Amino acid sequence: MGARDVLTVSAKGQVVIPQSIRIELGITPGSEVEVRREGTGVMIRLKNVRPVSKLVDGFGMLKYSGKKRLEDFDIGIEMRKHATKRK
């Protein structure tokens, strides 16, 4: 997209920044932009880019101090326990 693209405003007042611009500027979900009025127009300026989270970034966040067993992490077993309690 070029310098004079037309964007549509949604019912909630949202606009979508074209993908090519998001990639070029490194805009990711959670990035902050500053919006201000300039005369009869609007200026949008990139304020803070949020780096993309990776699954490995969350490794080690949850701690468990008891005996570790594979069964403790089986969601199927937990679902069956919960289902039998309902009966």
pLDDT tens per residue across span 67-81? 766 666 677 777 788
pTM across the whole model: 0.52
Cβ proximity of 17 and 27 under 8 Å? yes
Give the three-class secondary structure for 20.
helix
At 73, is the secondary structure helix, strand, or coil?
Answer: helix
CA distance 85 to 87: 6
* Tens-place pLDDT, residues 2-33: 567 888 999 999 999 999 898 898 888 888 89
Considering only CA atoms, give the Rg of the chain: 23
